[in-house]
Amino acid sequence: MTSLEPTQMEQSCMRHEPEPPGEKVPRRKLLGWLVGVINLGVFAAIFTPTLRFIADPMRRKKGSDAWIPVIGDGEIAEGETRSVDYRVNVDDGYMVSPLRYSVFLHRSGGEVFAFSPTCPHLGCNVKFHSQNDRYICPCHGGVFSADGGRISGPPPHGLTKLPAKVENGQIWIQRV
């Protein structure tokens, strides 16, 4: 016998043992299925929460149509324009954080108008100059009228108007 020939013990291990008679599903097949089911369970347990975590922000609705109370109705006079700060809890998909925003409110003819302070040119914050009743952008000199319309400068259009209403003694706006 050369050293390459299997020993008697190795031969007995390699020999295929017949399944015991009377078994409908062979034991090895059953074991294979069991291992498969366990692997599938482990795979699902690991990847399902990961996939849900990644997909969650995509399932959430963008923006909000909620009305936000910003100041009392009596806090802005006819013809007045003022900048008002307010806080909103923003849900970015993973956590909720309170963020501070500002809005310009203008009352004219008894109605309240709200304007975003973000310049439509490159996004600087405009300032209201009450002495000439104009919004002026400090970055490139964009000029807007008291009703938000574009007067001059590089901005392509007027300030963004936000929905506003007076209800229950409060001025409410919507972020768009």
Binding site for ligand FES (CB under 6 A): 119, 121-122, 124, 137, 139-140, 142, 153-155
Bridge-based pairing state of the strands 81-91 and 96-108? antiparallel
Smaller CB separation from ligand FES, 30 or 122: 122
159 burial type by CB count under 10 A (0-12 exposed, 13-18 middle, 19+ buried): buried
Map residue 10 onto helix, strand or coil: helix
Smaller CB separation from ligand FES, 76 or 137: 137
Least separation in angstroms between residue 168's CB and ligand FES is: 36
Smaller CB separation from ligand FES, 55 or 122: 122
Q: Dihedrals φ, ψ of 120, to 5°?
A: -75, 0
Smaller CB separation from ligand FES, 73 or 154: 154
Two tokens at 167? 């209800």
Least separation in angstroms between residue 147's CB and ligand FES is: 18
Question: Dihedral angle at the C-alpha atoms of 67, 69, 75, 76, nearest 10 degrees?
Answer: -20
Contact, 111 vs 117, CB < 8 A? no
Contact, 160 vs 152, CB < 8 A? no
- Dist CA 71 CA 97 (whole Å): 21
Least separation in angstroms between residue 103's CB and ligand FES is: 17
Least separation in angstroms between residue 166's CB and ligand FES is: 30
Least separation in angstroms between residue 151's CB and ligand FES is: 12
Smaller CB separation from ligand FES, 21 or 123: 123
